[in-house]
Structure 1
Amino acid sequence: MNDIASHPVIDDISSKLDTLTPKAQALGNYIMINPAKVVFMTTKELAEACEVSEATVVRFVATMGYKGYSDFQDALKDFINTGLSLPDRVNLKGIDEPGLDRLHRGILEELNNLKFLYENIDVERMNQFITHMDTSPFIYVTGSRLSYTFAYYLGWSLTKVRKGIQILKGSDSTAMDMLANAPAQSLVILTATTRYPNELIKLSKMIRRCGHTLLVLTDSSISPVIPFAHQSLVVPSKSIPFIGNVSGMLAVIQYMVQELAHRKGEALRTYQEQLEQVYLENDLLFNIDPK
């Protein structure tokens, strides 16, 4: 788990603790010691655990600067998600439950994640990303471990819409060679998901030193690569994943690629007709009616 004072939520509680009432202090101490429990507790459950009233919980959250308890829990969720180990995640996800129960719960969880994304995604920032994708002559897309899945999907999809796309595996040190030799002021899109490989932090620093434009597509406002980005886009989710939240990231990538395709206009048809000709001439794809 994370250090007790390694996130703004915990740091803020710690810094204000001495100014709080005794009951609020008891509440704050409990949250700092048990953040993984609190993130799933209702106000009633938290109040009972600390032997205070629900009104004390509500006032405490307001004192910390949050509009409501759910906003406080969302901030705390990012802190928990970053530090949870694999065994911790197994305990959270009820792996011992019957398989059908896990299926139904998993589907409902993804639906809630998508609803949360729909209500909270920064559309203006997404469109700024698309403008970069449209105007930059050279684009490099990279990620590592789980996030490489999203990097590959984004990069592969972009090759169906425009030229000048390179996909790099961030865990391969040759990615640094490729970016060091990339044309000046290239656009680099880096995907980063919890639990944030250190190699992506090193790569982000190197990208900035090379003078490239760095866009970061990530899943949390405390993602450690954000400080190195020229622009970042957080894909919010409601739940703490077992391995990783997938549906929201894929939905955002699909939107950005489709919107880019829309902006290309008639040039898209010409480009895609050329691609289809290459596929046909080289017999690359299954054709149910070959000629």
Structure 2
Amino acid sequence: MASGVLADEIRNKLGDLSPAERKVARVLLAGYPSAGFETVAVVAERAGVSAPTVIRFVNRLGYRGFPDFQTALRRELDERNASPLSLYEATDYGREGDEGTDSSSLIERGSRVFGDAVARTLAELPPHDLHHAVRLLSDRKRRITLGGGRFTHLLAQYLGLHLMQLRDDVRFLPDRDVERTALLADLARRDVLVVFDYRRYEEDKVAMAQLAKERGGKVMLFTDSWLSPVSAHAEVVMPSHVTAPSPYDSLVPTLAVIETVVAGVITALGDDAHSRMRHGEETATRIGLY
């Protein structure tokens, strides 16, 4: 499955397209994103349609013409590959004379940016995926394995630590190669692999997701709005906006999604969650943690 904002736009339009336009859509999705940078003539030939049909297709997506569509595709790829350094340099963060450096302005800006990102993320969260995520994570017959990336391993740990208080069979991907290999080699049908993967996506996450799927397990993905390539193998995809008042992608909206999922798992587990939490509290008190 092609991953990306434009790919989603194309898939969402499939039901509204003519049979000829649908052929164009399938050619672009099958070779996404590289097919979108071919000429109109090449796309038309591959789809077995006329050049005007290709133009009508991109018009239906809201673009003035094929160059306009390619510009949007190029912008998407730039955004997918953006790094904190490239965002810093492109937007002049922190330069002398930059507005909003005093405390009150920073608070106002943070409130606006984070509030909007969280609101948009939750408003656009697919209800089916949220329901499926809760169902998988609350199924006590399943074993849950969580892993993240350079920064997002913190999110994997945050979700995992909550799940450990609610149910058993929850674990994290080990850092050491031998332990990680042993765990992945043991994946089976009862496993749910929860992956956190955000732009500048990590290749090992795709390989692990593919492995889990081949073994009959389920893959759950938390990612950004551009969608990690892991989405091609995921049963559940939970996208978040990552807009921040700094060059770094924000993890705040994803945190809101995680806490929404945790609330759903607590409700789904009911008395079992309550018993597990009480037993955990009693154990922690007995060994002097609380």
Counterpart of 2:116 (choices 112, 115, 121) is 112
Q: Does 1:63 align with 2:63?
A: no
* 1:224–1:182 distance in 2 versus 1, CA, 3 Å: closer
Q: Show the counterpart of 1:132.
A: 136
Give distance in 2, aligned partners of 1:187 and 1:172.
Answer: 20
* Greater shift in the superposed pair: 203-212 or 97-106: 97-106
| Structure showing greater relative contact order (alpha-carbon pairs closer than 8 Å, 6 or more residues apart) | 2
Structure 2 contact 147–172 (Cα < 8 Å) conserved: yes
Asked if structure 2 preserves the Cα contact closer than 8 Å seen for 1:116 and 1:237, the reply is: no
Give the TM-score, by structure 2 length. Answer: 0.69
1:207 counterpart (212, 230, 233): 212
The corresponding residue for 1:263 is 268
* Structure 2: tracts of 5 or more residues without a match: 1-27, 44-54
Within the candidate set 232, 237, 251, 2:237 is matched to 232
The residue that corresponds to 1:95 in the other structure is 94
- From the superposition, tell whether residues 75 and 120 of structure 1 become closer, same or farther in structure 2 (CA, over 3 Å): farther
Name the CA shift for 1:245/1:169 in 2 (closer, same or farther; >3 Å): farther
Tell me whether 216-225 or 234-243 shows the greater mean CA deviation: 234-243
The percentage of aligned residue pairs carrying the same residue is 15
CA distance in 2, matches of 1:112, 1:208: 35
Q: Which SS does the other structure have where 1:207 is aligned? A: helix
How many residues are matched?
Answer: 239
Which whole-Å CA distance do the structure 1 matches of 2:155 and 2:72 have between them? Answer: 23
- CA separation of 1:107 and 1:122: change in aligned 2, threshold 3 A: same
Tell me how far 1:93 sits from its aligned partner. Answer: 6.1
- Counterpart of 2:196? 191
Query: Which residue of structure 2 aligns with residue 86 of structure 1?
Result: 84
Tell me if the contact between 2:135 and 2:268 (Cα under 8 Å) persists in the aligned partners.
Answer: no
Residue 253 in 1 paired to residue 258 in 2?
yes
Partner of 2:277: 272
Distance 1:61 1:84 in 2: 29
